[in-house]
Structure 1
């Protein structure tokens, strides 16, 4: 390859043709080398696009992580706050259960102390008392009720069985209806006396013990609630650090690729300059020695064909987030971070499913329902379904996460009651009643309220 701009002076025709051939071949070789610039620029553009896509994906992953952290914090705070608010009810429930246990134990002790003797129950003599004791029935606590059933041997009529508190039912010869009724009345009287003597409120020491348990749990819940923001902030800091490391890795790879591309581009620029020099030498040689024939003209035309133009070097679009500055890992992601707020609840799928089914099957239609009413209810249901999906789907995405607009619940409830009222108006069983009119009025109030709230929310958002 010749770098000099002064053509060699040939001394004869052979030397002139050889010099011309060398210049033409040098121009062709340099042109073929320079033709690789266009594929290189296209590949470099694809590289820039890949790098931008990697940054966007990293930002999306970071945004989702921050959204998950925020939702976890909101769930934890709601759960702990609900538990704290329910401690008073929990204390009352504990006191109620403790008093019930205390009363049950007192009643059982009193019943165990009420012995079954001949003098206590009318019609029960000493012999029957001994027979009952032989069957394990000595106190009012040993049995709970009586019932009639077949005799144990299967012969004869029904006999009276005494159901023991623990164990099977037993039959004592001589105790039938006339003696079984006084026996149960004696037990009911004993239970009534025991319940009257049972404590009506907890002792101070038991109440104090329950209060200590509740206060200890309150302190634990308050400590857990105070730790929730710290835990969320630590998780956020970890996510920011991980995101910064990921961006640093991407930036390092981008710098290395950019440096390599710059070297290749500088090499192509040098080739272009050399091609210009060689073309100038060839032009000077042609001016000095003229045309050397058909083969020379054909070779020069091939060598001097224009090189395919390289595409303009336009930087690919970058992700909106830049590298952290001023030593802050979170400063660069402040603008790209999703707005705080819990995503729209999955519970909105219930009205969506209801209105979707109504759009297909109708709202309680009968044979007497007019065609225009059936079509109208289906169209209204389809419109409400489409509107709810239009509002709900973007609010589930982490980029546009937000609660449903104010008043949407009122509008959906009003539409639901309106469909029910329309079905009742066309049903002969309800058309003459006041129920359809009441539902229609409530539906209209809900729709107006929802529209007012939606309008107020829209003005607040625009303001």
Structure 2
């Protein structure tokens, strides 16, 4: 403890310090305590920021775990889909082989029929009524065998003159008309072709040759082996995808852990600084109390400052451990809603019963100390008085000072309530309204009402106005005292 004392020149008999020296020393101690209190005022904001950091870190870890779990689920589902698809394709290979054999047989029979039709030439005597001359005319039009035409039909004559004539259709859609080939010769010509087609189909092979069947079986077996190899590769691919997802999760968690460790180290250093300042403040308070006990009162001016300087320190916050979002919250588990240790429940964070008005219990998500929505009622009332004033809705007109002063007072009350209420509604700065705020609000409202009654000029309401004003003064004094203590 530092004291300002003076001694005689011989160094033996101490002389009590003068009142000026006592006040100087007292003022120095008070100013030092004020400076430390101003520094310690930043601890609340620091603790709230640290809680937000811890919640953010827990949320980031939960997101990394959820992303990994989602990736593993997708890998599992993709493997099941591919396994089912490969199983269906392997089971369908037998039907595919039969289908390819039928297609190959159809192609073989079509080629055999076409070859037989190309070998069946139109000669004299094959069709009744068609002699050598018509055969030459048909050959000139490109019709020599049964494969050179498909059908006959009636249509308008070339150039649109001469009525309808018989057309012979070629295989590729072109049709020709040969003079002398009409209904009596066209029908036998088609009968000749139908007979040639029937003979060709009868001579066409009814089953595939062994070499083609063997070749199709080899293709199907090669496809089966490829699909089985692909199915055998699925577990290795899924395991590689799982390992990659786990690796990415581990890397993300390592980065988050390292960042959290650095942030935690910085927070611990900052918290140690606050603790050291708190210890220094306690030491200064003890020195100030000893100085007061030794030398007594230092004057009226320092009395109030000395009382404020000797106020107890704010409560030290309990350690806050956020619940991991990756762990589902169930009743009865720490961090779960309704369970001890859950944010907003008794015993949150510290494991003990935490009062609702604990200044360090606020800021945790879901805390029950959030300012009530009922404060919107006085805010709305004061906002209405800001617009209408007091004593004006009646028949009398209040004086100018009352009209202006009431509006300014109501506006100041509205702004002050909003300044206190809005931050205490936010999840990260949630807190109850300061004690005494309700009494102050009621006192201001009653004071405005008393001023309105007094400014109306009616002698009958002067008595109630004085009573209302006195009650308003009591409420204001009570609310202000509670605000200072809080």
TM-score, normalized by length of structure 2?
0.63
Aligned-partner SS, 1:318: coil
CA distance in 2, matches of 1:75, 1:87: 19
Match of 1:177 in 2: 183
Residues 274/124 of structure 1: CA separation in 2 closer, same or farther (3 Å cut): same
In the alignment, is residue 261 of structure 1 matched against residue 273 of structure 2?
A: no
Note if contact 1:160-1:176 (Cα within 8 Å) is conserved in structure 2. Answer: yes
Match of 2:141 in 1: 135
CA distance in 2, matches of 1:197, 1:153: 43
Within 5 Å, give how 1:400-419 maps onto structure 2. none
Shift of 1:78: 1.7
Residue 245 of structure 1: which of 245, 251, 266 is its match? 251
Note if contact 1:28-1:304 (Cα within 8 Å) is conserved in structure 2. Answer: no
CA distance in 2, matches of 1:48, 1:278: 34
Within 5 Å, give how 1:273-422 maps onto structure 2. 273-320=279-326
What number of residue pairs does the alignment pair up?
317
CA distance in 2, matches of 1:54, 1:276: 39
Note if contact 1:160-1:180 (Cα within 8 Å) is conserved in structure 2. Answer: yes
Shift of 1:167: 5.3
Note if contact 2:156-2:165 (Cα within 8 Å) is conserved in structure 1. Answer: yes
CA distance in 2, matches of 1:7, 1:220: 97
Note if contact 1:38-1:310 (Cα within 8 Å) is conserved in structure 2. Answer: no
Within 5 Å, give how 1:180-199 maps onto structure 2. 180-199=186-205
Match of 2:119 in 1: 113
Note if contact 1:35-1:307 (Cα within 8 Å) is conserved in structure 2. Answer: no
Match of 2:214 in 1: 208
Note if contact 1:108-1:141 (Cα within 8 Å) is conserved in structure 2. Answer: yes
CA distance in 1, matches of 2:89, 2:326: 42
Larger radius of gyration: 2
Note if contact 1:42-1:311 (Cα within 8 Å) is conserved in structure 2. Answer: no
Note if contact 2:138-2:178 (Cα within 8 Å) is conserved in structure 1. Answer: yes
1:159-182 CA distance string (max 9 Å, x none): 111101135211111111111111
In the alignment, is residue 75 of structure 1 matched against residue 119 of structure 2?
A: no
1:318-353 CA distance string (max 9 Å, x none): 2447xxxxxxxxxxxxxxxxxxxxxxxxxxxxxxxx
Match of 1:13 in 2: 19
> Larger relative CO (CA 8 A, sep 6+): 1 or 2?
1
Aligned-partner SS, 1:160: strand
Aligned-partner SS, 1:123: coil
Note if contact 2:63-2:326 (Cα within 8 Å) is conserved in structure 1. Answer: no
Aligned-partner SS, 2:147: coil
CA RMSD of aligned residues (A): 1.5
1:376-429 CA distance string (max 9 Å, x none): xxxxxxxxxxxxxxxxxxxxxxxxxxxxxxxxxxxxxxxxxxxxxxxxxxxxxx
Match of 2:59 in 1: 53
